Amino acid sequence: MLSIPLGLPEFKVIKQELLSYGYAIHVEKTETQERCPHCGFATSSVHDRRTRKVRDLAIFHQPVYLFVKVNRYRCWNCSQVFSASLESIQPNQHYTNRFCEYLYELCEGSTIQEVSRKHRIPYTTLEHIYYSIASKKAKERQAAKGASFQEGMVLSLDEIAVKKGHQYETVLMDAKAGSVMGMHADRQCDSAINLLSQNGLSKEMVQTVILDMWELYHKAVRALFPSASIVIDKYHVVQKVTQALDQARKEFSPLKKARYLLLKGCEKLRKDQRLRLDDILEEYPALSIAYYLKELFRDFYRTDGYNEAKERLEEWIKLAKQSPFASFQEEANTLERWKEPILSYFLCPYTNARIEGTNHKIKNIKRRAYGYRNLERFRLRVFLECTENTTQVVRLLKRSLLQLSV
């Protein structure tokens, strides 16, 4: 039989054999002396021996099982009996540490159930392995992030629906790094304050916070970071104006199929679609007012400079109030109320684009597992998968290296 190096320095291989269920490798610890965990006295007096069967990384796609001869020692000093300590295998664990790490890597981007079925590991066992490692990694990553916090931070706060019936989670993100800093249940003011407080951010650290027009988020930010600039995400504002146009369109019953042409940016339409849009606006002159208000507002965000933007926004609000559509009049009042944080974008040009992209990742995590009953585990998955800096290629390389190590 081909002799393959094990790659675990603490063990020496006694025997290797190929059985019907995979490779069986009999090993024992190279070190023959142990230190008593009770009194610290070093001893080599073996009381008895036991064999542990643990699963290790596969070789040539064949399962590998280590039969580890574990010495139990009797301490000469305190007479206590104890087992030899193993670096590669945790106590009461039936898998090597590196195999557990490999399983954890497989569960990223997949589901525990799928990995459990493929590798014939009980679901509850794999679930315990994954979340044990995940909890450790989350603590390490949280500590590393806390140490990297510095002045001039830009935070992004938004919500995501996790269940039907308006059940939301608030997501906090570092807008510059593009990583999730935490999640909290619902989108109430107290929840947002708790989430912002958990990360140990001081008033001096936070320079800018990007929000939508949810009043309770603004209240929480003003309470904790009174000197920070609040910027209302431009995509949320444009979305509100686009929704006002959609409401105006619904007043014209024959235009059910024209929704795409009206809501899409003019520059993104094909030539035939533009001709069709021109025909619609010519046929419905009142609707053309709503359409041009939408396009005029989109041009507002292409403005250079705060003062010019302020003039254009005030002009747009004035025109929208004079329009015949209640939806635009209501939107004009909304923008007038939030005018200052909307204009702050031209002083601090940050958006929630990254957090919206992260929201898409979060939805994929939820969809992949067909939902989560345990929201704490859901938040843990999101934190780990949405703060990952390595690419899929690096993950695959890491898995390959784990395989080669055997």
Q: Which amino acid is at 310?
A: K
- What gap in Å lies between CA 175 and CA 156, rounded to an integer? 6
Q: Domain 149-232+351-387 has what CATH class?
A: alpha beta
Amino acid at site 228? A
CA atoms within 13 A on the CB side of 258: 25
- pLDDT at 366 exceeding the cut of 80: no
What is the mean pLDDT of the segment spanning 88-102?
92
What's the pLDDT tens digit per position in 256-269? 788 899 999 888 89
Residues in the chain: 406
CA distance 59 to 4: 9
pTM confidence score? 0.68
Domain-by-domain residue ranges, the chain?
A: 1-93, 149-232+351-387, 234-346
b/e sequence 273-302, b meaning 16+ C-beta within 10 Å: eeeebeebbeebeebebbbebbeebbebbe
**Rounded average pLDDT over 6-33:** 89
pLDDT tens digits, 216-254: 999 999 999 999 999 999 999 999 999 999 999 998 878
Q: How far apart are CA 366 and CA 52, in angstroms?
A: 38
Mean pLDDT of the 353-377 span: 70
* pLDDT at 4 > cutoff 90: no
Q: What is the pLDDT of residue 68?
A: 94
401 has pLDDT over 60: no
Residue 170 sits at φ, ψ, to 5 deg, of -90, 130
**CB 209 within 8 Å of CB 174:** no
Query: Residue 125's pLDDT is what?
Result: 92
Per-residue pLDDT band at 112 (split at 50, 70, 90): confident
Instruction: State the average pLDDT over residues 89-118.
Output: 89
In terms of C-beta density within 10 A (0-12 exposed, 13-18 middle, 19 or more buried), how is residue 45 classed? Answer: exposed
The dihedrals phi and psi of 125, each to the nearest 5 degrees, come to -65, -50
DSSP code, position 323: S
**Residue % of the chain over a pLDDT of 90:** 45
Nearest to 153 by CA among 212, 230, 209, 231: 209
pLDDT (tens digit per residue) in 155-181: 988 888 777 666 788 888 888 777 788
pLDDT digits (tens, 9 = 90+) for 69-91: 999 999 988 989 999 989 999 98
At 178 the pLDDT is 74
pLDDT at site 272: 92
Q: What is the mean pLDDT of residues 325-349?
A: 94
Residue 2 pLDDT level (bands cut at 50, 70, 90): low
CB 98 within 8 A of CB 405: yes
- Closest C-alpha to 75, from 103, 52, 47: 47
- pLDDT recorded at residue 324: 93
- Give 148's pLDDT tier (boundaries 50, 70, 90): low
- Asked whether the beta carbons of 19 and 66 are under 8 A apart, the reply is no
- 204 or 225, higher pLDDT: 225
